[in-house]
Chains A and B, each alone.
Chain A
């Protein structure tokens, strides 16, 4: 960091950039790095998606379907199932959604939107990416090491302790998360510095597009949350390897302490996933309603408020640990309070659309899908925030349905919205429209068939993280797995669309979306040239851009 080169404006010849593998391995260009993040995210989506598909195949019918280890080896197979669940969650969270949002769209469009020539620390940007790529490799290695980590993404001890997970798999998993966390922290430092120091003249913080706001708030959440995860993981690592007893009950340690640490990270983590989605959806809704976002400042500060309160609600994941009544009452109220700024956001999006001349292009369809899913998950979330309800539903499929709606699938919809919105800017070619519409509808129907029935199996009491279940849960699980087939087919269609776009998409002008698209990235040609804004655009006389 100390020896960051400060690029002289203009000056030397920038046009000969490295080519071939060097261009990517040593890249310091925010657009190239953004592209690499998006590719990483797609690779992650294939792996993590395949894992979830295997889970759904197993759960399609009661009984054990695919015991790869042979009769009598049920224990090994159950462990394998849990490794799938764990791997699916970590990959989707750390290697699909986060890299696409922060690393991919963040790297690509924050500098473009604020009129900066690049990120503040280009070389550190490169390091962040390769740290994340190594983390993914390490996680996959962990999955194939001696039984793999079957701890669930929450890594609760004593299940994750040396006693119940002997062997190096969990340690490798912890190291992988350490690397991923370091990558995120470096990325966050980069984003914050870029947004603070590199805005073009006149691009005041209150004129910044909401996507940049969302990335800024997310970066601050990463700063606060990631070190807490890292600290907890380090303590877990020493418990496992050096005989300390921070969480180890037999040595006087406290496993509930781990839960506090984990969820102090874990709850903000879901906002880290969804906030950039808020940002993307705001840009898209404004563009396709041809109106500035209703209540721009309210939208920005609602995100700031969500960020703050997000750190004060973690124990709503711990109602069954025997919190005392006052503590519980506090966490219930705090969790309900978050619904307020969230409601502000939903209201603003709807108000923006209201009376706007809406065109339902594919990005807008995904943005509306996002709003629908997020509201669905929000409703069950408000229900679960009440300790009484949660004690009944804790660890059932009701929770699985809730969080897939509110963060996982909503996050994926925001990613797709961003993808279709910006792909023309990124590669200079437009997506095939009809196929993209089919993609939207099949994905929308698929995920709802997949996750809606899980509310019912959850209410009937079906626990999560089990490969086998009694016959009375049979019906809805079958439906859910049908949904998984549709979703998987739709995802494959998406990859086909990516290929079609890159190979045969029609050429895109600088601004394909018309007058609704007001942010700076639409002022540069498509695809955005390797170097942009070497002469800073002057925004002094412009209105706030949404």
Chain B
């Protein structure tokens, strides 16, 4: 049951249709870890939204000096898409119960994620080479802040990736793997979307 349905419930009215099963007990049909993750994503969304709002607001000041984004960001975007796809592949195979498929997916996702982080660091370096090391220029400050905070979230995700991989290695129970892989996949897709929004905004400015 979705949250709105839940709030619209009217338990004080007489139940229609005698003998029907009592209404679904759980507020949501999702398992707890998935609910928990979704709630966490809401928190992260608020955080990134704050940065975006502040960024857009700051741009309207007359002293705004935009910067040109280093080209590697395009490459990094591609790499991040690959890692997200890797997780997708892993979770599809987890549904099927195919351990080999999970392994391939996880490996792709992990390698691509590390590559993405390395690429982001490289982008930082390029920025310095281009002469944008004046942090006091808000455009530069925001660039580091946005990419940095996004990177930290990915880094945190890699901890989960690592633990999931360890479980795969130990050939844990398939139901458990399905859960772990599924959670990682959702998280990575989320970070991909966040990145696309951030990157789009950086490009636009």
A residues with CB within 8 A of B? 1-4, 120-121, 124, 185, 188-190, 192-193, 195-199, 201-202, 204-207, 223-224, 226-228, 230-232, 234-235, 238, 242-246, 248, 251-254, 257, 261, 540, 544
Interface string of B114-150 (1 = CB under 8 A from A): 0000000000000000000001111001001100010
Interface string of B50-67 (1 = CB under 8 A from A): 110010011001010000
Tell me if B99 counts as interface (CB < 8 A to partner A). no
Question: With A223-B42, A224-B46, A244-B136 in contact, is A205–B7 under 8 Å at CB?
Answer: yes
Q: Counting CB contacts under 8 A, is B192 at the interface?
A: no
**Bound-complex Cα distance A202 to B36 (A):** 23
Contact of B47 among A188, A227, A252, A253 (CB under 8 A): A227
The size class of the interface chain B forms with chain A is 35 or more
Distance (whole angstroms) from the CB of B68 to the closest CB of chain A: 19
Which residues of A are found within 8 Å of B163, using beta-carbon distances? 2-3
Of the candidates A2, A121, A227, which one forms a contact with B183 in the assembled complex, judged by CB atoms under 8 Å apart? A2
Q: Helix, strand, loop or mixed for chain B's interface?
A: helix
Contact assessment for B11 and A204 in the assembled complex, using a CB-CB cutoff below 8 Å: yes
With a cutoff of 8 Å between Cβ atoms, the chain A residues found around residue B171 in the complex are: none
Q: Are the C-beta atoms of A544 and B11 separated by less than 8 Å?
A: yes
Residue of B nearest to A202 (CB): B22
A205 to B27, alpha carbons, bound, how many Å? Answer: 8
Q: Are B33 and A226 in contact (CB under 8 A)?
A: no
Question: Which of A3, A185, A199, A232 lies at the interface centre, i.e. has the most chain B CB atoms within 10 A of its CB?
Answer: A3
For the complex, is B205 an interface residue (Cβ under 8 Å from A)? no
Residues on A with C-beta less than 8 A from B58 are: 246, 254, 257
With beta carbons under 8 angstroms apart, the residue of B32, B39, B51, B164 that contacts A223 is B39
Q: In the complex where A193-B39, A243-B135 touch, is A234 in contact with B33 (Cβ < 8 A)?
A: no
B74 sits at the interface (CB 8 A): no
- Chain B residue contacts of A185, Cβ below 8 A: 40, 43
Known A-B contacts A197-B28, A205-B9, A230-B47; the reply to A251 vs B179 at CB < 8 A is: no
Q: Which of B9, B51, B180, B184 meets A231, CB within 8 Å?
A: B51
Q: Which of A1, A188, A189, A198 has the most CB of B within 10 A?
A: A1
Chain B nearest Cβ from A148, distance in angstroms:
27
Complex CA–CA separation, A434 to B118 (angstroms): 67
Q: Does B72 contact A (CB under 8 A)?
A: no
Residue contact B22 to A189, C-beta cutoff 8 Å: no
In-complex Cβ contact of B184 among A2, A244, A544 (8 A): A2
Q: 19 other contacts beyond A1-B160, A189-B40, with CB at 8 A cut-off? A: A2-B184, A3-B180, A189-B39, A190-B36, A193-B36, A196-B26, A197-B32, A201-B22, A201-B25, A202-B25, A223-B39, A227-B47, A228-B47, A235-B54, A238-B145, A244-B135, A246-B54, A248-B136, A544-B11
The answer for the CA separation of A224 and B167 in the assembled complex, in Å, is 33
Q: In the complex, are the beta carbons of B32 and A231 less than 8 A apart?
A: no
B44 on the interface (CB 8 Å rule)?
yes
User: How many angstroms from the CA of A189 to the CA of B58 in the assembled complex?
Assistant: 32
Give, as a whole number of angstroms, the nearest-CB distance from A156 to chain B: 17
CB neighbours of A540 from chain B (8 A): 22
> Which chain B residue shows the least CB distance to A296?
B12
Distance, CA A202 to CA B183, complexed state (A): 29
